[in-house]
Structure 1
Amino acid sequence: MSARRAPYELWPIVAAFVLSGGLSFYALALARANHTPVVLWLANGALIGWLVQKPLSRSWPLLASAFLGLVLAKLCLGDPLASTLLIGPCHALETVIVSEAIRRRFPHLSPRTRFMDLARVGVVSALIGSALCALGMMSILHLWSGADVLVSLNTLFRAHFVGMIIAGSTSLVMVTPSLRHIEPGRIWVLVRDLLLMTAVTVGVFVESHIPMVFMIYPPLLLLVFRHRFVGMVMGMTILSLVVGLVTTLNVGPFNLVAGVTPAFHVVMAQVFIGVSCFVALPIALALADQDRLRNRMHESELRYRMLAEHSGDLVMRIRTNGDRMYVSPSVKELLGWEVEDFLKPRPDLIHPDDRERIAAEVCKLRAQGGTTTATYRLQHKDGHYLWIEAFARLVPSPDGDGAMDIIYTGRNVTERVRIEQALLESQAQLRTITDNMPAVIARIDTTWRYTYVNRFVEQIFGKTPAQVVGRTVRQVHGDAVYDRLKHYLERACAGESMLFEYEVKHHDKRLHFQAHYVPDLDADGKVRGVYELTTEITHIKNVEHELLRLAHQDALTGLANRRYFSERVPALLDMAQQHNAPVLLALVDIDNFKSINDTYGHAIGDIVLAEVGRCLQKLVREGEMVARIGGDEFVVLSCDFGNVRHANAFTQSLWERLHMMVDAGVAQVAVKMCVGAAVCKDEGSVDGLMKLADEALYQAKEAGRDTYRVLTRGFNGGGNDKGNSNSHRPNEEVKVRQA
């Protein structure tokens, strides 16, 4: 690959050597053969086209090659090596200044380059580079050969400046494809015009009797107008070569000026070439810029037309009277109409329900200007309607008549409108569902402010959605409820799903709610709010409480039932053991209850049971428990006494108070009881305690009923405790053996 690339990298170096050496040799040899100053120095400008294409760090081989070409040319003409080596860098400095100025200002030359700016940069840099080069060369020649300073500076500057303009422009045209582009059909026209320019120039400058130098301007300007920048460069090159040659040969119209030296003839030639260049150059640059702008406008027009004609959108230009000056071909694909059919105003194609609205929009646009956007229905040629989204702008008419046109762009949005309508319908259905759900459905943002709430909030909290949306949770529910909800809101905003219950007081009623907080996550998984589903469960809680009451309460007497008693006794025994306290369990049985039922009926029996239950409920104290555990069997549990004597006194009081007369309506029923009490300490077994109480009740029944017995266990101080007899013998003491 390197071997293949090497020739392409070597050719510019060889060409720079040949071009610099050849042009230098030609200019110096011609001037010295006729003992005149150099008319035109083209060698430095010939390198500009190559040097502007790459940075200086990569183009130094070209400068070195051109420097060697200059040195070889001067050595061939007999110049000393020392002066030649000193003058060479001056030439390189001029080339570097001009090429670097152009390259830094215009890194890439293209048809979009502003040639007036390019010419301005080139002329200014050529002035600076030529002045520095001439000043350096003048100093060297003055020190080396004693040449006149002003004459050398004047002659060198003009030769280098005009040569740089002509040769630099030529090299830029030759190496830049966009500048030298010529249509194939116009090549022969260019050759013909160049031959004409050459013939006229040679004829004018060969004629030494009549001054007709002005005759070269018609063919030169013809080249400029027909071939733009290329014609100007080639015409000036022909003019420069002919003028320089005839001047150094001391022929031509400049010799008509009598009494001047050959050096002055050179000055006249340089001035003539410079004036001709500055006549043709601005015209060529202006025409090139005009072509560039015309091409850009044409490209823009082609681009716009391509977009308008190949776009799926309908594009129209409409006059104020409704006439359509332009309709894009997309109307055929969009609406089925031909362009010719759509050029006339067609308000009848607008849906009847939309005509008035669209007419108002058009009137507003024409009156106020600016832009407007509207969505409406337009009839297809087949008869069905399409939804069109139209964008219109009022702009000055390109016809230059001072009128205002409407630029219209419309696109088919039927599918989008259907989707939007389906979405709106779905949202309406969803809102209907949410508003009629027996729960509060809401959304709370990260600032804990309501952004949505359904209408059920009116039934729960007595507030409309408009009164809730936009307010914070604290503002809606108050500080007390907010303090209960704050913890759950924080956890929901942290990404957790929270299900909890809370209770509030509303209008002197206790309301129970169950709330479910679900985080609202965006596409990146970031929490942007909380969804709330709150249901009032007051009736459920009431049912739960009622069920719990029915499960633990005897329906007839209102006392605890056997199930609740069995659930509570183990906990009470554990508590008594922890505090080292005695426990009393008394079984109460109604004497001859079966005979009451048989005599008075079960309804009277139920009245008796209910009255006994109310009496027991009044007798027990806080911390004591009474329950109905059977048909006519009740139980009393107490841990609130100090010793056995207190237990006996409690049992006796209980037995005495349970004697009653029950008013059954049709009769007075006398109720008597048997009580068997067990008093234990350190007793952890419910069965053991019940067994001991049952034994005491059995003894009371064996003693003839209507009495009580107390049995103890776990107390120090003997095996027997004393108890009173039944109510018929209140002063008699009966000894009961400890079980």
Structure 2
Amino acid sequence: MVFRRYPDMLWHCIGLFALAGGVSLYSIALARATHSPTSLWLANGIMLGLLVRRPLAETWPLLMAGFLGFVTAKQILGDPLLTTLALGLCHAGEALLVSVAIRRRFPVIGPQTRFLALARVGLISAFIGCGLCALAIAAMQHFWPAREFFTSFNTLFRSHFLGMVIAGSTSLVVVTKDWRRSEPGGTPWRLIRDLLLMAVIACVVFSVSRVPLLFLVYPPLLLLVFRHRFAGMVIGLAIIALITTATTMLNIGPFNLVAGTTAAMRVVMAQVFIGASCLVALPVVLALAEQDRLQARVRESELRYRMLADNSGDLVMRIRPNGDRQYVSPSVKELLGWEVDDFMHPRPDLIHPDDRQRITQVVTELRAQGGAVTATYRLQHKRGHYLWIEAFARLVASPDDDGSMEIIYTGRDVTARVLAEQALMESQAQLQTIADNVPAVIARIDMSEHYTYVNRFVEQVSGESPEAMVGKTIKEVRGNRLYEQLKSYLRRAYAGESVMFEYEANYRGHLLQFQAHYVPDRGADGRVRGLYALTTEITHIKNVERELLRLAHQDSLTGLANRRYFHERVSLVLRQAAQFNMPVLLALVDIDNFKSINDSHGHATGDMVLAEVGQCLQRLVREGEMVARIGGDEFVVLCSDIGTEDNAQAFLHSLWERLHMAVAVGTGTVEVRMSIGAAMCHGTVSVDVLMKLADEALYAAKEAGRDTYRLLIRNLHSSESAAEAIYKPGQSGL
């Protein structure tokens, strides 16, 4: 399944099987032929390059290929199968542990990889992996067959660790380096040439057994490091390691100069030499690799900066202390219409005259104090109009290392934004003027009941300033008593309801009436974040309403209720009387011969008579009784708690007697007499029936010669026109 998804995996497995098996066969056979321990175990490190390039789930075919290669080599040499399988598992575990550690820290290894960190992770993981592998193999060899454990572990660990460092590094370089780009033509000729030089010198050094020439290996190794960096080092060390181990195990080379050495001691010396070569080359190559990486980042950063500066719509400049420009971005042409050469020298004449002094001061302060500044000013376009430029400038040390300080300037066209801000400010000023002069208090209140805005009109209403109110709560500004009235309306508005209501409040010693409208303030998400309060003083409106109501219900001449108000009240009185089974008395009062008074003394005198009669009637009635003028000289008295018929007769008699009056007119007087017709009803009765009965009684009084009164009584079972008795002045009847 894996081979179908990744066709190249099959060839990698075949190659790894052959390479791991061949190296294992070479190392084991050479050690056995020379009767010495293996000085350099390379098989595990060879697998490392391929393992780190694959996800963990895809590494098992490669591990299996390396494992089978080792087992095959051991079987060719005739080793027991069970022991071989156990050793193969240890080798595979070592390679797997190191590859997983590197892959977790560096998922991708490329030119941007930090090789110092890679080397640190690789060495630590190799130390741990090789130690565990050597420990496991030594344990097996100590018990099966028995050998000295510490000696076995020491020998195995050194060979595995050196082999992992050299072979692992080499395999990483081989599989990650793009060899096609090493040289023009696609072949790494210079590297091959230098490696051949390294191999020749190493062969010469280790073929001479009389003179110690090991130091001659280091110059070509360092040459490889300086010319080819990591690739040159690891492949050069691999060549040194192979030649060193081969010649040492074959009893050839300068290590034989030490008298009385054994094969094991020569292996140790070879390993020390290989390790010393690593210690010589590794710090140098790591430092050079880090330097190359940093230089590449600097070049890339410079390239990106230049690309951004050249292609940015912003104007970018480097300004020397004398004002000359080290660099002006080509965007000056698109932005201001000027060529780059036109801006290489100071151009203060292009700054708007109103901004020139301010910008000069800003630049002076920047050069004196350092740091960075931002300024907005106007620059003249080549066509003559001005653009608003927002400039950011920072004082930095010159990259020329001459000790001077340069200004890095970045400017962009913000004309549209400035014009929009100016229009917005003008609009806000207009709205503020309108809001402050609207004859109503406009306020915004947040969710914590704090004022966040109050217009200026509040000063005319309460004498408080908006500045003193903003930041305070409604309770603090309005007091506890008024707050309790407003609290329920605030809750409704915070709940999302638009609320309109009226209330009263004392300000400056006057009781004022207000109409308030609370409107929820909703955010973009629809949630209520406060409310707007529009409060209008309606005291004058309420006064006008009361005056209109008074004029609608009151007779202007006498001050009594008019006919309209009388009809509104009489219906209510009759309903209440029927509900509580109470008698109702309605008396019509008419001035006798009023027309002759007008004709003889004039309408002014007639009005005086009407006013005097109205005042007299108002004085005579009790609380709860009603007096109204319903016609020219016709008045009405309505009583709902008259009680008995005797009380009704007594009331009418008293009323008739007291209405005899003399009204002073000029030097004389006018005698006024009254005719009264009254109706007393029990039970349910309509307004029209009651008025009709009272009118009949009044007609009877006038027929009797005026200046008298008549009372009609209607019982529960009487017809609408029937009456049980008529009472005359000074008489009592049945």
TM-score, structure 1 length as denominator?
Answer: 0.90
Residue deviations 1:683-735 (CA, integer Å, cap 9, x gap): 4211111111111111111111111111212189997546343xxxx5xx375
Match of residue 345 from structure 1? 346
Q: Is the 8 A contact 2:180 2:188 kept in 1?
A: no
Residue deviations 1:394-422 (CA, integer Å, cap 9, x gap): 33433334444333322221111111111
- The alpha-carbon distance between structure 1 residues 294 and 672, as it changes in their structure 2 partners (threshold 3 A), is same
Give the counterpart letter for 1:723 in structure 2.
Y
In the aligned structure 2, how far is the partner of 1:564 from the partner of 1:145? 131
Match of residue 723 from structure 1? 727
Q: Is the 8 A contact 2:3 2:9 kept in 1?
A: no
Q: Name the SS of the counterpart of 1:15 in structure 2.
A: helix
Match of residue 242 from structure 2? 241
C-alpha deviation, 1:604, in angstroms: 2.0
**1:629-644 alignment to 2 at 5 Å?**
629-644=630-645
Residue deviations 1:578-637 (CA, integer Å, cap 9, x gap): 232222111111111122222222222222222211221221111111111111111111
Give the counterpart letter for 1:109 in structure 2.
I
Q: Is the 8 A contact 2:521 2:530 kept in 1?
A: yes
Match of residue 169 from structure 1? 169
Q: Is the 8 A contact 2:39 2:271 kept in 1?
A: yes
Q: Is the 8 A contact 1:676 1:695 kept in 2?
A: yes
> Structure 1: which 5+ residue stretches go unaligned?
none
In the aligned structure 2, how far is the partner of 1:154 from the partner of 1:472? 82
**1:82-481 alignment to 2 at 5 Å?**
82-134=82-134, 137=137, 156-177=156-177, 182-184=182-184, 187-207=188-208, 211-254=212-255, 260=261, 264-481=265-482
Q: Is the 8 A contact 1:449 1:470 kept in 2?
A: yes
In the aligned structure 2, how far is the partner of 1:550 from the partner of 1:189? 118
C-alpha deviation, 1:573, in angstroms: 1.3
Q: Is the 8 A contact 1:180 1:230 kept in 2?
A: no
C-alpha deviation, 1:156, in angstroms: 4.4
In the aligned structure 1, how far is the partner of 2:275 from the partner of 2:697? 147
In the aligned structure 1, how far is the partner of 2:299 from the partner of 2:564? 101
In the aligned structure 2, how far is the partner of 1:226 from the partner of 1:121? 25
C-alpha deviation, 1:654, in angstroms: 1.1
Give the counterpart letter for 1:417 in structure 2.
V
Equivalent residue pairs, number = 730
In the aligned structure 1, how far is the partner of 2:481 from the partner of 2:542? 21
Q: Is the 8 A contact 2:2 2:58 kept in 1?
A: no
Is 1:40 paired with 2:32?
no
Q: Is the 8 A contact 2:474 2:483 kept in 1?
A: yes
Residue deviations 1:414-465 (CA, integer Å, cap 9, x gap): 1111111111111111111122212222222223232222222222222332
In the aligned structure 2, how far is the partner of 1:7 from the partner of 1:734? 137
Q: Is the 8 A contact 2:90 2:136 kept in 1?
A: yes
**1:514-533 alignment to 2 at 5 Å?**
514-533=515-534
C-alpha deviation, 1:130, in angstroms: 4.2
Match of residue 557 from structure 1? 558
Residue deviations 1:444-492 (CA, integer Å, cap 9, x gap): 2223232222222222222332333333333333333333222222211
Q: Name the SS of the counterpart of 2:188 in structure 1.
A: helix
Q: Which moved more, 1:689-698 or 1:200-209?
A: 200-209
Q: Is the 8 A contact 1:31 1:37 kept in 2?
A: yes
Give the counterpart letter for 2:47 in structure 1.
L
User: % of aligned pairs identical?
Assistant: 65
Give the counterpart letter for 1:299 in structure 2.
E
- The alpha-carbon distance between structure 1 residues 289 and 591, as it changes in their structure 2 partners (threshold 3 A), is same
Match of residue 609 from structure 2? 608
Match of residue 535 from structure 2? 534
Q: Is the 8 A contact 1:173 1:180 kept in 2?
A: no
C-alpha deviation, 1:292, in angstroms: 1.3
C-alpha deviation, 1:146, in angstroms: 7.0
Match of residue 72 from structure 1? 72
In the aligned structure 2, how far is the partner of 1:715 from the partner of 1:153? 133
Is 1:660 paired with 2:661?
yes
Q: Name the SS of the counterpart of 2:632 in structure 1.
A: coil
Q: Is the 8 A contact 2:583 2:680 kept in 1?
A: yes
- The alpha-carbon distance between structure 1 residues 605 and 27, as it changes in their structure 2 partners (threshold 3 A), is same
Q: Is the 8 A contact 2:323 2:346 kept in 1?
A: yes
Residue deviations 1:229-287 (CA, integer Å, cap 9, x gap): 11112222333333444444444555556665555554444443333333222222221
Give the counterpart letter for 1:174 in structure 2.
V
- The alpha-carbon distance between structure 1 residues 601 and 413, as it changes in their structure 2 partners (threshold 3 A), is same
- The alpha-carbon distance between structure 1 residues 504 and 138, as it changes in their structure 2 partners (threshold 3 A), is closer
Give the counterpart letter for 2:109 in structure 1.
L
Q: Is the 8 A contact 2:390 2:412 kept in 1?
A: yes
Give the counterpart letter for 1:199 in structure 2.
V
Q: Which moved more, 1:248-257 or 1:582-591?
A: 248-257
Give the counterpart letter for 1:326 in structure 2.
Y
Q: Is the 8 A contact 1:17 1:69 kept in 2?
A: yes
Match of residue 494 from structure 1? 495
Q: Is the 8 A contact 1:179 1:230 kept in 2?
A: no
Q: Which moved more, 1:157-166 or 1:279-288?
A: 157-166
Match of residue 16 from structure 2? 16
Is 1:581 paired with 2:582?
yes
> Structure 2: which 5+ residue stretches go unaligned?
none
Q: Name the SS of the counterpart of 2:42 in structure 1.
A: coil
Give the counterpart letter for 2:234 in structure 1.
V
In the aligned structure 2, how far is the partner of 1:561 from the partner of 1:89? 120
Q: Name the SS of the counterpart of 1:697 in structure 2.
A: helix
Give the counterpart letter for 1:26 in structure 2.
Y
Match of residue 713 from structure 1? 714
